[in-house]
Amino acid sequence: MFMHFWFGAQQDFRLFLLAPLLAGLFRLIFIEVYGPEKLPGKETFHKWFQCFAYGLRWGLDWHAYVFLFPLVLISIPGAFLPAYYEMGDTLRGIFILGYLLLMYTAFMGKMIFYFHFHDTFNQTLRLGKNADKMNFVDIFFHQNHGGWILLGYLPYGWFCWQLIQALLALPLLPYWQLDSAVWQYGANAAAFIAAGALFYWLRYGGSFSHRQKPEWDEVPAVVKEDVFFGKAVVDDFVALEMVFRQPVSEVLTHDDETTRKIWQGFVEPRGREDFWEQFAKGAGGAKIKQPSHIFWLLGESHSQLFFDPAWRKLHLLESSEKWREAQGTVTLEQFLPAGLISQPSITSQLAGLFDDNLELNENKDFWQGRTPLSLPEQLRRLGYRTEFYYGGGLNWGSFVHFVPACGFDFSYGGPELCSKDAPSTWLGVYDHLFLEGVEKKIGEHDDGRPAFHYVYTTSNHGPYNMPMEELGYRAEDVLREVPELLKAKGQAARQLGGIWYADHALVEFALRMRKKYPDALFIVTGDHAGGLVSPQLLHEAGLLPRQYFNLREIRMPTFAMQHPELRQEMLGSTMGTHMHILPTLMELIAPAGFKYYSLFPSLLERLDHVVTPYGWLAGGKVGDYGNSTAQSWLPAEDLLPTEQVEAVPYAAERKALVELTGWLVRHPEFLDKVSS
């Protein structure tokens, strides 16, 4: 009877070996596709070795169950049921094939996720539950070759099945026969216990000590110090577990006593009547003539790196370059977004506090209430009519509810502004048509009162399947300094055109509005850095000596303001975030003594650092809270050295800002009720 268990356990272990073997192969493919180094060199061999060795051990946290489940569900019952034992190899093969197919799914998901976010699975993944699923489908098939990925299951599955059959056909170690029954039972028991012990040894990454179980904190320094290899070392299932093991934010689990401790020195716990007064500020007096129109133009993925010297040679933002030459334009080259993807970035800008991936726009309490920090509500108190324009439908992110609650008098989506047959992507109507609709609606509303217009475009987004040439993009003219890129095909070529087109459409709109309203104030920024041209493409064209992004390039959107009376020297800071725009507006245009509310100072002041939930700027460095790293914030053609930050800068300030948002979610009674 035990002989059947002995043979079955051997088959279980053999098939288990396929999981770490293919995980290592997937890790190698990931490095070859996205990594800055394609082969280990003499100086980097140790890093490569540790990446694969530690990744192997860490991945066993999941793969060990590929050994355990068949052992418990097939080999043990098979020892007592001969007919079931005969079916064992078939059942084992089906089980391991299913697991290997799941590994393929997770790996392809990581490859797609990294393509868009330049990161392996992170908390952004959890924010997709309320996203437009058809947009995902569109991107999957038209940008990420989804059809080929799905077809890939067939050859991959066939290959795995052949490996499974080959392993099952290998000779088995013979079962021992002992003369003494006592020794026979003892040997059987020892083998059974050893099988269980082997599972635990595998589960803990080659150790029987839970303290030595692989985890992020213990990743070898030589691996962790390399930003890319620090991501590559994490197996796909482990990365997914890390995302879903923790809630989006632990602040929702805090009690008020914990909150008070975190707030200490930053926020004062007060009663409902005067809580917000601690954030009240008095404007110092208008620095420019109050503009009749304020335009906050938020360009999808409008990224600062295209103004950096090497990337500027692409001329993808040449329209913005010319627009910035006008008198009265001020810019910042070091600027952080309020969120790493669109929804938390926009929500934060409008609400006046960091969303921190809590999805305030999906929270019904924020459909019925707002804080005094709200951007449009404070501009309404200054006498401005407030209007929100989005290229897509307002059902996205429940903005149809959230936007009016923030204090906008009017809100429109692209489908409302344009004809029903207007060409569009899943995200929204083509930018130039959407902006023509915005222009028309602004004209209809124009009654002589000052107005604030928040305009968010969508076209600079995958899968970039718009007819770029028909939309005015001439590759040979735009890429005149880098003609090698004219050879780019497919997705890469369309992306270059999409970035140029979206910027051109936005600037053309700004020029028309400036001509119509000469005293208008313009703010042009991106929701986040994104839509980035692969540095590998520039490397192949001889424009960059590296094949990986520097941190500033994947974190910083653009920032520019324009008004006839603005001057660069009026800015006291060389850095900022989206959250500094509101107080800057107030200090520029509000009369002396006007009370406004803001968690942040204006850009007219000298700032020695800025903080978001995701990163920080200070001392010539840009930092990432996600992996406790920092780099120089200066543009560079070379790959900059990455510093592993032991003491996280401004951690207390960051925690206080995040805690405030979580506390408001727990205490919606502190919101100002919105009249219906």
pLDDT tens string 389-441: 999 989 888 899 999 999 999 999 999 999 999 999 888 999 999 999 999 99
What confidence tens digit (pLDDT) does each residue in 612-623 have?
Answer: 999 999 999 999
Nearest to 377 by CA among 598, 575, 159: 598
Taking the C-alpha atoms of residue 359 and residue 372, their distance in angstroms, rounded to an integer, is: 19
- The torsion of the CA quartet 23, 24, 25, 30, rounded to 10 degrees, works out to 90
Taking the C-alpha atoms of residue 8 and residue 16, their distance in angstroms, rounded to an integer, is: 12
Q: Are 87 and 243 within 8 A, CB to CB?
A: no
Taking the C-alpha atoms of residue 235 and residue 220, their distance in angstroms, rounded to an integer, is: 15
Taking the C-alpha atoms of residue 225 and residue 469, their distance in angstroms, rounded to an integer, is: 43
CB within 8 Å of 12: residues ≥ 6 apart: 67, 70, 71, 74, 75, 92
What confidence tens digit (pLDDT) does each residue in 13-23 have?
Answer: 999 999 999 99
Taking the C-alpha atoms of residue 462 and residue 497, their distance in angstroms, rounded to an integer, is: 12
Count of Cβ atoms closer than 10 Å to residue 408 Cβ:
25
Nearest to 438 by CA among 495, 512, 364, 374: 512
HEC letters along 50-66:
HHHHHHHHHHHHHHHHH
> Consecutive sets of 10 residues in the chain, 676 residues long: mean pLDDT of each?
86 96 96 90 92 95 96 92 92 97 96 85 68 73 88 97 96 80 81 92 90 82 83 93 75 92 96 95 97 98 96 97 97 97 96 94 92 97 98 88 96 95 92 98 96 97 91 96 91 94 98 98 96 89 91 97 98 98 98 98 98 97 93 95 91 97 94 85
* Cα 348–Cα 353–Cα 355 angle in degrees, nearest 5: 50
Q: Are 331 and 324 within 8 A, CB to CB?
A: yes
Q: Is 409 helix (H, G, I), strand (E, B) or coil?
A: coil
pTM for this entry: 0.78
Give phi and psi for 621, each to the nearest 5: -125, 150
Going from the N-terminus, what domains does the chain have, and what CATH number goes with each? 2-245 (no CATH), 256-673 (3.40.720.10)
CB within 8 Å of 100: residues ≥ 6 apart: 18, 19, 22, 156, 157, 160
Q: Is 221 helix (H, G, I), strand (E, B) or coil?
A: helix
Q: Is 226 helix (H, G, I), strand (E, B) or coil?
A: coil
Taking the C-alpha atoms of residue 441 and residue 388, their distance in angstroms, rounded to an integer, is: 11
How high is the pLDDT of residue 252?
A: 85
Taking the C-alpha atoms of residue 472 and residue 497, their distance in angstroms, rounded to an integer, is: 9
Q: Which long-range contacts (CB under 8 A, 24 or more apart) does 489-495 make?
A: 491/143, 491/462, 491/463, 491/464, 492/533, 492/534, 492/537, 494/463, 494/464, 494/465, 494/466, 494/468, 495/462, 495/464, 495/531, 495/533
Count of Cβ atoms closer than 10 Å to residue 555 Cβ:
28
